[in-house]
Amino acid sequence: MDENDLPFKVGQLAEARSFAQGYRGAWFRCKIIDIARRDSGMLYALQYYDFPDEKLNWTKAISISKA
């Protein structure tokens, strides 16, 4: 997969779902800061709009298709 085939791009606005205790199922607005390829798949560094002082969070993207 080359850079043009990635499902998301750096600078793109997104929403991230939390699986952390107390926030499970909550969605947060974020911006994609960086993208990295790892053995486990694509990882995205996210910066949250509502938590600007929070350190960058690397997360694996999952796709939710709409039927």
- CA angle at 21 for the pair 18 and 44, rounded to the nearest 5°: 30
For residue 55, the domain's CATH number is 2.30.30
65 assigned to some structural domain: no
Q: What is the pLDDT of residues 21-59, one digit of tens each?
A: 998 889 999 999 999 888 877 889 999 998 888 888 888
Residue 34, pLDDT score = 93
Assess if residue 49 is contained within a domain: yes
Residue 6 placed within a domain: no
Number of domains in the chain: 1
Tell me whether residue 3 is in a domain.
no
Domain span at 31: 12-60
Band of pLDDT at residue 62, cut at 50, 70 and 90: low
Burial class of residue 7, CB neighbours in 10 A (0-12, 13-18, 19+)? exposed
pLDDT at 2 over 70: no
